[in-house]
Chains A and B, each alone.
Chain A
Amino acid sequence: MHSKGLAPLAAATAVTITAALAMVFFYAPNDADQGFVQKIFYIHVPMAIVALCGFVAGGVFAIQHLRSGDSSWDLRSYVAIHLSIILGVGVLATGSIWARASWGHWWVWDEPVLVSFLIVFLLYCVYYPLRFSIEDPGRQARYSSVFAIAAGAFVPLNFTAVRMAESFTHPRVLSQTGGDLPGDMRLTFLVSLLGVALLFVTLWKLELTAKHASMQLKRLRNERLRNRARVAA
């Protein structure tokens, strides 16, 4: 069910990411202020945007789960959040490298995307202990969905608040995140964004397929055990 379309999706992802990498290193010009280091921006910001969208998508799937009671929505929500957390580790790592290369410190507080991302990441890390400390599967799914919805609504609110705060302490001299990019940089950025987004969807489908297969397998084995017990009795 989920594996339909996986192969062409994976192919499209590979093509787009290769194209993006080529553009980053051969097409986009070096930034006037930051030089070569600015190239990190083409991987860091798309990962951040896709991860944040992944969190919000997790919330949307959770709403569907609560409305329909169908647990496949909960699975979709879980995988989206799970993948976004993994991407989140990458965002924080690449953001830190960028900060170190650009400003000499391994962390800076004046990039609102990075700072608000740290807060969101800390929040979503609690998803796992919350989820796995509830034993009843129905309840576990429902409570996880409630969390996903609240956290998903929190993401834009948090970003707004952090941005408002940072604009006071650190006036935004660096509007790197998409706003006023020259044409060829913007194109490169968009292709990178598309590549990471496709990657996310591909990995999401891949993990859903794997989880589904494992659930089917478990069901089959339980059925066999039951049949055996019945025959033996």
Chain B
Amino acid sequence: MPALPLDEAGKYVAGAYVVFVALILVYVAIIGAKIARIDRQISELVASEDDE
């Protein structure tokens, strides 16, 4: 097959790299949410520690 013209090819290449970046971002977001939750639970723990 002859190579696609640049504007068409560009869409596919962009799509592929977007997939890559999106995966990383989604993953980091999930880990970030997990860490935020852990932080919150730690401060809850510390707070109830202070109450006693």
A residues with a Cβ closer than 8 A to B are 31, 33-37, 39-40, 43-44, 47, 86-87, 89-90, 93-94, 97-98, 100-104, 199, 203, 206-207, 210, 213-214, 217, 220-221, 224
Contact = CB atoms under 8 A, between A and B. Distances in A.
Given A90-B23, A221-B45, A35 B3 contact: yes
A217 B31 contact: no
Contact of B4 (A101, A220, A224): A101
A36 B16 CA distance: 12
A98 B31 CA distance: 29
A36 B31 contact: no
Given A102-B1, A224-B45, A36 B34 contact: no
Chain B binding surface SS class? helix
Interface string B27-40: 11001001100100
B34 A98 contact: no
Interface in B1-52: 1, 3-4, 6, 9-10, 12-13, 15-17, 19-20, 23-24, 27-28, 31, 34-35, 38, 41-42, 45, 49
B31 A206 contact: yes
6 nearest CB pairs, A to B: A35-B3, A101-B12, A36-B9, A40-B16, A94-B16, A37-B9
Given A36-B10, A90-B23, A104 B16 contact: no
A120 to B, nearest CB: 18
Contacts of A103: 1
Name the prevailing secondary structure of the A interface residues: helix
B14 to A, nearest CB: 10
30 contacts: A34-B3, A35-B3, A35-B4, A35-B9, A36-B4, A37-B4, A37-B9, A37-B13, A40-B17, A43-B16, A43-B17, A44-B16, A47-B20, A93-B16, A94-B19, A94-B20, A97-B12, A97-B16, A98-B16, A100-B12, A101-B4, A101-B13, A203-B27, A206-B31, A210-B34, A210-B35, A213-B35, A217-B42, A220-B45, A221-B41
A213 to B, nearest CB: 5
Nearest to A211: B34
Given A35-B4, A207-B31, 20 more contacts: A33-B3, A36-B9, A37-B12, A40-B17, A44-B16, A90-B20, A90-B23, A94-B16, A94-B20, A98-B16, A101-B13, A103-B1, A104-B1, A203-B24, A203-B28, A206-B31, A213-B35, A217-B42, A221-B41, A224-B49
